[in-house]
């Protein structure tokens, strides 16, 4: 069996992305295992998911830390204690600092529910709807000190429909998040991600020969 890389997953909320990673790991679809799940919120449902999967959980609340850097020093301590090789942000609602980033350079991934560099920050689905884009999607990227601006690993596109609400768009995007996050982790595990400046080259990647995205998605006479 291939060596499995050790993941530390950081969460704050419901943890559906965490679940997709746990499932892919258990099914042997990725050569990676989640060794610790860290939450800044004690009530995050993601913690239940981790426990159910038999993964160790740690809660580090913001209170008690004077600065973001102090908080991140504690994060680093826990991640190192578990010999984490890749840090996976999965709905972690905190901005991370250079304290964490310098310990794990190009070894921290995040998933964002928009096609970056469009709609960074909070409420990406709402911003996409309000702007009126016809496609949106999600982005897995390496984390650098600029929020939602690190080198892009994988993106997936979804259409925005006429009658979409923030919720329906969120669901459509989430489905793709659950597909591409495990893929990105697997590419990392296989050592196939090569960062060249802003670009992440995927080593040995075949180009599809019949790729088509159409707009509008309904027939207009």
Residues that bind ligand GRF (CB under 6 A): 13-17, 46, 90-91, 111-113, 174, 177
Radius of gyration of the chain (CA): 18
Yes or no: say if 134 and 162 are a contact pair by the CB < 8 Å rule.
no
User: Quick one: 73 or 168, whose CB is closer to ligand GRF?
Assistant: 168
- Over the range 110-119, which residues count as b (16 or more CB within 10 Å of their CB) and which as e? bbbbbbbebb
Verify whether residue 178 is a known catalytic residue.
no
How distant, in Å, are the alpha carbons of 24, 28, 53, 109, 120 from that of 123?
Answer: 27, 33, 30, 19, 9
| Beta carbons within 8 Å of 215's beta carbon, 6+ residues apart | 134, 135, 159
User: Quick one: 91 or 159, whose CB is closer to ligand GRF?
Assistant: 91
User: Quick one: 67 or 165, whose CB is closer to ligand GRF?
Assistant: 165
Min separation Cβ 99 and ligand GRF, Å: 21
User: Quick one: 71 or 181, whose CB is closer to ligand GRF?
Assistant: 181
**Catalytic residue (one of 82, 112, 141, 178):** 112
Min separation Cβ 120 and ligand GRF, Å: 11
Min separation Cβ 138 and ligand GRF, Å: 6
* CB-based closest residue to ligand GRF: 91
Closest alpha carbon to 35 in 57, 3, 12, 59: 57
What SS3 state is found at 101?
helix
Tokens of 53: 């999967």
Min separation Cβ 220 and ligand GRF, Å: 31
Active site positions, annotated: 112
């Amino acid at each position: 069996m291939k060596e499995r890389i050790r993941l530390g997953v950081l969460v704050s909320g419901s943890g559906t992305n965490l679940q997709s990673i746990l499932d892919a790991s258990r099914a042997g679809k990725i050569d990676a295992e989640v060794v610790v799940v860290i939450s800044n919120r004690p009530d995050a449902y993601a913690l239940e998911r981790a426990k159910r999967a038999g993964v160790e959980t740690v809660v580090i609340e913001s209170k008690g830390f004077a600065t973001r850097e102090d908080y991140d020093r504690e994060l680093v301590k826990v991640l190192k204690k578990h010999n984490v090789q890749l840090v996976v942000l999965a709905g972690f609602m905190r901005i991370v600092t250079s304290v964490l980033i310098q310990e794990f350079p190009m070894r921290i991934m995040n998933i964002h529910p928009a096609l970056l560099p469009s709609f960074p920050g909070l409420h990406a689905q709402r911003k996409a709807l309000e702007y009126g884009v016809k496609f949106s999607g999600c982005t897995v990227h390496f984390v650098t000190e600029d929020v939602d601006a690190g080198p892009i690993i994988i993106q997936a596109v979804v259409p925005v429909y006429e009658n979409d609400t923030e919720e329906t768009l969120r669901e459509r995007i989430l489905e793709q998040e659950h597909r591409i996050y495990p893929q990105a982790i697997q590419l990392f595990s296989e050592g196939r991600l090569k960062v060249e400046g802003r670009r992440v080259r995927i080593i040995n990647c075949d180009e599809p020969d019949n790729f088509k995205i159409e707009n509008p998605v309904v027939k207009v006479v």
